[in-house]
Amino acid sequence: MSGHAIVVGGGIGGLAAAVALRRIGWRATVLERAGELREIGAGMSQAPNALRALEELGVGGQARAAGVPTFSAGNLRLPDGRYLQRARPGDPTPLLAFHRADLHKLLLEGVPDGWLRTGTEVTGLRQDERGVTVVWDGGEARADLVIGADGIRSTVRRLLWPGTPPPRFLGRTAWLGIAPAGGLPGSITMGSGGYFLIHPISRGRAYWAYVTTADRPEVRYEKEKAEAARRLAAWHEPIPELIAATPDEAVIHIDICDLDPLPSYVRGRVALLGDAAHAMSPDRGQGAGQSIEDAVVLAAALSGEAAAGGAIEGALRRYDTERRPRTQATARGARADGRRTTSPAAHRVLTTMIRLMPAALWRQGITADGNATWRWQPPHLPVAPGR
Ligand SMILES: Cc1cc2nc3c(=O)[nH]c(=O)nc-3n(C[C@H](O)[C@H](O)[C@H](O)COP(=O)(O)OP(=O)(O)OC[C@H]3O[C@@H](n4cnc5c(N)ncnc54)[C@H](O)[C@@H]3O)c2cc1C
């Protein structure tokens, strides 16, 4: 079985889905509402599970070339600079850090010319037993299946699951930035009520994020960089320096939200993928990684069903059965981690536990197979001839 899919959304999840479909011999049309396809935002890390999924998509080499090893999970500090755990020189790390644009670009390069249509905001969907019609202002198109990869405020989800609650504000807010600063190894500094993350990224830059508690969403400041700098003025070097070195316009302020678990990611011939299905708090660094996993599993289910002579609906049901437990457990864990790492009440207990943990045990937990989420192995995608 091969066919044609419409992917709604050209973020990391949507592009990963298009690359995966191409691998198995399908055709895809990616509809993106933005007039120009570019990933804005700051940086991110990818763990071994997502890196294996990228290998399966055929872009593992490009990911290894674009990513920078980061020791964020190995260097845990307190705001006064003391280390709770410290990576040794020469230690390996399985985490790679990226500028979001670099990860987005390497996936885009795997999408054939002519598959992407920008400036197209999907507003409607109709499906019957033979296919799905997708509607936008001024046009429509039909395909064998539709993948809703349109992010946390997904239109596809709203159209097909109208009763679903909106994203939930998690009582936390974050400032993010990219500064010219080479040679930083990556670290997390755990304060009472918030943490500061540093990842080295390509071309001698560092990505930073400060995540802290907030009573309500949408509180914004006239000078966001100055506000972040004020809050972190007494924290250890290089934190104040990094903020100072960040261009004002490169500081982003966002509120942290996630989705309550959905009862299903699939309805007929439509499947949700990535943040549209399971937007999660960023505290495990897994949101985009899970969307790349989704793409591989969905393509594997389609090719497996083809081998069995089955129908698209069956493949999507298999995708749903496989992905929902893992992604929802990851989202639950991320939500709980976020509460723990930013709660002033939990701070002393958490930092004491980390300090008392033998270094060897801590290091074991951050090896490639050190935790259950990172241990995941992708299904093998049968690569179609010429792909
Ligand atoms: C502070 C922070 C840090 C993070 N750090 C990490 C990390 O370290 N590692 C990690 O793996 N993840 C991380 N994440 C999560 C990650 O950013 C998301 O999970 C990921 O970007 C989701 O990708 P997506 O393609 O599903 O959705 P999106 O990136 O939201 O893409 C959706 C796309 O759909 C388009 N669209 C929306 N509606 C329509 C429509 N109606 N029609 C057509 N197009 C539409 C949008 O324009 C957009 O291009 C972090 C998130 C945050 C907030």
Counting Cα atoms < 13 Å in the Cβ hemisphere of 260 gives 7
Where does a domain end: 257, 288, 321?
Answer: 257
Same domain, 97 and 113: yes
Where does a domain end: 230, 257, 284?
Answer: 257
Residue 305 has pLDDT above 90, yes or no: no
Query: 317-350 pLDDT, tens per residue?
Result: 999 999 999 999 999 999 999 999 988 888 899 9
Residue 240 is assigned to a structural domain of this protein: yes
Same domain, 163 and 26: yes
Ligand 1: residue whose CA is nearest its atom 24: 13
Task: Please report, for the domain that includes residue 227, its CATH number.
Answer: 3.30.9.30
Residue 217 is assigned to a structural domain of this protein: yes
CB 242 within 8 A of CB 225: no
Q: What is the pLDDT of residue 27?
A: 97
Ligand 1: residue whose CA is nearest its atom 35: 9
Residue 79 is assigned to a structural domain of this protein: no
d(C-alpha 66, C-alpha 344), whole Å: 36
For ligand 1, the distance from its centroid to the CA atom of residue 234, given in whole angstroms, is 33
Average pLDDT over residues 215-240: 97
d(C-alpha 93, C-alpha 71), whole Å: 6
- Tell me if 200 CB under 6 Å of ligand 1: no
Residue 189 is assigned to a structural domain of this protein: yes
Query: 78-94 pLDDT, tens per residue?
Result: 999 999 999 998 888 99
Q: What is the pLDDT of residue 370?
A: 84
Coil vs helix vs strand at 355 = helix
Residue 218 is assigned to a structural domain of this protein: yes
Same domain, 250 and 183: yes
Query: 29-41 pLDDT, tens per residue?
Result: 999 999 987 766 7
Same domain, 59 and 123: yes
Who's near 188: CB < 8 A, 6+ residues apart?
72, 73, 75, 76, 77, 195, 196, 197, 198
Residue whose entry in the numeric block shows the structure tokens 């990818």: 46
CB 292 within 8 A of CB 326: no
Residue 152 is assigned to a structural domain of this protein: yes
- Tell me if 137 CB under 6 Å of ligand 1: no
Same domain, 242 and 306: no
Q: What is the pLDDT of residue 304?
A: 85
d(C-alpha 383, C-alpha 22), whole Å: 9
CB 138 within 8 A of CB 124: no
- Ligand 1 atom closest to 275 (CA): 26
For ligand 1, the distance from its centroid to the CA atom of residue 141, given in whole angstroms, is 24
Counting Cα atoms < 13 Å in the Cβ hemisphere of 364 gives 5
Q: How many domains does the chain have?
A: 2
CB 69 within 8 A of CB 341: no
> Nearest 5°: phi and psi at 148?
-90, 100
Burial category of 197 from C-beta neighbours within 10 Å (exposed 0-12, middle 13-18, buried 19 and up): buried
Burial category of 274 from C-beta neighbours within 10 Å (exposed 0-12, middle 13-18, buried 19 and up): buried
Residue 219 has pLDDT above 60, yes or no: yes
Residue 384 has pLDDT above 90, yes or no: no
Coil vs helix vs strand at 69 = strand
Ligand 1: residue whose CA is nearest its atom 3: 282
Where does a domain end: 242, 257, 272?
Answer: 257
Same domain, 312 and 247: no
Q: What is the pLDDT of residue 1?
A: 63
Same domain, 29 and 134: yes
Q: Which two tokens stand for residue 211?
A: 């995540």
Kindly report whether the peptide bond that precedes residue 238 is cis, defined as omega within 30 degrees of 0. yes
Provide the pLDDT confidence category of residue 310 given band limits of 50, 70 and 90. low
Q: Facing residues of 256 across strands?
A: 172
Provide the pLDDT confidence category of residue 295 given band limits of 50, 70 and 90. very high
- Tell me if 242 CB under 6 Å of ligand 1: no
Residue 347 is assigned to a structural domain of this protein: no
Same domain, 40 and 115: yes
Query: 237-283 pLDDT, tens per residue?
Result: 999 999 999 999 999 999 999 999 999 999 999 999 999 999 999 99
- CA dist list (Å): 116 to 8, 100, 102, 365: 10, 19, 18, 40
d(C-alpha 311, C-alpha 305), whole Å: 7
Ligand 1: residue whose CA is nearest its atom 53: 282
CB 216 within 8 A of CB 106: no
Task: Please report, for the domain that includes residue 25, its CATH number.
Answer: 3.50.50.60
Q: What is the pLDDT of residue 306?
A: 62
321 residue type, one letter: T
- Ligand 1 atom closest to 274 (CA): 26
Q: What is the pLDDT of residue 70?
A: 97
- Tell me if 11 CB under 6 Å of ligand 1: yes
Same domain, 17 and 144: yes
Query: How many residues are listed for the chain in this entry?
Result: 387
Give me the domain span that covers residue 202. 169-257
For ligand 1, the distance from its centroid to the CA atom of residue 113, given in whole angstroms, is 22
- Tell me if 209 CB under 6 Å of ligand 1: yes
Same domain, 30 and 52: yes
CB 148 within 8 A of CB 276: yes
Residue 385 is assigned to a structural domain of this protein: no
- Tell me if 295 CB under 6 Å of ligand 1: no
User: Distance of alpha carbon 384 from its chain centroid, rounded?
Assistant: 27
- Tell me if 67 CB under 6 Å of ligand 1: no
Same domain, 218 and 129: no
d(C-alpha 348, C-alpha 341), whole Å: 10
Average pLDDT over residues 62-73: 96
Residue 308 has pLDDT above 60, yes or no: no
Same domain, 251 and 283: no
Q: What is the pLDDT of residue 224?
A: 97
- Tell me if 289 CB under 6 Å of ligand 1: yes
Residue 309 has pLDDT above 60, yes or no: no
For ligand 1, the distance from its centroid to the CA atom of residue 279, given in whole angstroms, is 8
d(C-alpha 99, C-alpha 203), whole Å: 10
- Ligand 1 atom closest to 16 (CA): 25
Average pLDDT over residues 18-35: 97
Query: 174-217 pLDDT, tens per residue?
Result: 999 999 999 999 999 999 999 999 999 999 999 999 999 999 99
Query: 102-141 pLDDT, tens per residue?
Result: 999 999 999 999 999 999 999 999 999 899 999 999 999 9
- Tell me if 334 CB under 6 Å of ligand 1: no
Residue whose entry in the numeric block shows the structure tokens 């790390």: 93
Residue whose entry in the numeric block shows the structure tokens 């080499």: 61
The best mutation among 100, 150, 254 to test binding of ligand 1, ranked by most ligand atoms within 8 Å of the C-beta, falls on: 150
